[in-house]
Structure 1
Amino acid sequence: MKRYFILVLLLILVCVVAALLFEGKRSSRLNDGLSRAALRNLTQGCGHKDCILAINNPSFESLENANSWLKDSDVVFGLSIPSSALYEEAGSFEQKSEQRLMGKPEFFIEKAYPKKILAWHQIVNDNFEGSLFSVTYCPVCGVANAFIGKVSDKNATFGVTGLILNSDLVMYDSVESSYWQQASGEPVFGPAVDRQENLSLLPIITTTWGQWKSKHPQTIVLSKETGFDNDYSVVLEDNFVSGLGSYSPDEVTDIRLDPFDIVYGIELRGVYKAYPSTYIESLDYGKEYVDEVGAKEVLLLKNADGQIVFSEKSSGEELEYLYGYWYAWSGIHSETEVF
């Protein structure tokens, strides 16, 4: 009986020590920057880190060559920026766009990244004369984004963590393995959280190949020669949207719109607003429309080539927008207004 009692005490002691060790590791993990809210909302995506492989050595081809396999209706993500936008010394994107830096000649970078390729890899780590930037796409939430490749003032590339937060891709960086939300460029885990560092965004648009090439005849295009044996004629996103794939949106609590409605989301002075794509598509070409975001007036304009421009009326400042599914936008910005 005495021996049995001692064994029970030893078992209890082992359980207590194990619990303390687990809690210590968990607390350490939380102290490393992963908030309790993020920890609770992170869900497993494709299984493990790098379960979807980024393109790290992209090759490009001419418009003429791309015409042989891209249809005018195919979706591409277009990047059209002055090369100075990538030079770290320049400051804000607006400042970089207006100056030539350190004797470096200005050069406009015009690149198209077909969705049918990005859907397979989600991240393309690219560069211009040694300045790194990454073009990203989350098939789960439908959002494309581009970032300057800098983390803690060091050159960085990005990869897929295999995790999802608010139905959005979570990336990791090559410098310190902080985790980043793809739709916003905000950190969710690691040293970057403590520094309150956000990734620097580059303006990228979602459009069709036909519209892009007509406006950017000098464009080059991400090649299908990626080094991977993928069939890029298969559009993976079709499976996500139809529910046949392994992903589905997290529990949707905001039912003001259908979860899979496409929206244009903007932010002005800390206020967020979503515009259904059905409304945007109904706008007349070349006509300005006025709306309010918070207490500020916003101008909406659909250019002759079909591109949408949002700007603050009082300052004329052009506003960046995110294009994606309602469930992802409302999951990230729960306080959003809706047109």
Structure 2
Amino acid sequence: MKSIEQIVLTAALELLKNDECGWLCTVVKTFGASPRPLGSMLLLSGSGAVTGSLSGGCIEDELLEKLQRGELAKLQPEMLEYGVSAEENERFGLPCGGRMQILVEPLTASAELCFMLSDLCEALDTRLAKRRRVDLHSGQWQLEDVSRCEPLTIRDDVLIQDFGPRYRLLLIGANELARCISEIALAMDYRVVVCDPREDRREQWSVSGAELNASMPDEAVSEFADPYTAVITLTHDPRIDDMALMQALTEPLFYVGALGSERTSAKRRARLKLLDISDEQIDRLHAPVGLAIGSKSAMEIAVAIMAQLTQLRFLESQNKIDAGDV
């Protein structure tokens, strides 16, 4: 399953390969509440085909009407703003007070642009990160490699937009909780891998879209470890969970969590310390896993876990914006 960015960029590449024109539309600024986050993308072809999304459909309809009237930018990027009045908020389905700025970039076939789109698609396929710089006057692109994605920004009339791999969730243990987490995570565009060395547990697995992995837990963690991966242990079996955690806490992972009560988590931390895992590494462990929302059922725990991942990703992006690290 590809991310929406991969789908949009791939569609743009195919469009240009067929010598067709199109428009790449990107949410570049939001004010107040907005229906789509910063960086959301849409491709509009010359024939009116739409790939991606910017709103609940009303902004897409407005862009199609502009296309039919011949009002979309033809040579240089154009900035459009939606939601500047209460009437527009209602018309475009924006939350009260919400405003969005959309950058509309005309795309025409050229060897250089096709090469850069191909480079972006290949980077996303291989879980590498790329930065796109767009001159807002000329529309010219520049690409560069980056080690970590930063939030989209506009600086000195240049759009700076990073593209990175989809976040990945490695779950240790193919059980009912893993099923609930997988279903939510897949709907939230995570790539989900479920590792369980026990054949009988793998045979019972039935979530379409989640990949099964039969490796030993430490080997699976080592294979998938990168800054866009979260590892969560779910088996309640220290022989399996601790093996995964020993490896996970030494890797540059986005998140490491373990299922268990406060008492179980304290015992787990004590065991890890005896296994030469440092205090600093152990401090990275989220245990009990998930936000403390009083969850009891498997689906409630899954909601708490995915809510915590969402919160941490949001806080990380906000900290980068506040620090001016882009």
| TM-score (structure 1 length as normaliser) | 0.23
Higher helix share: 2
| TM-score normalized with structure 2 length | 0.24
Larger strand percent: 1
Which has the higher relative contact order, 1 or 2, with Cα contacts under 8 A spaced 6 or more apart?
A: 1
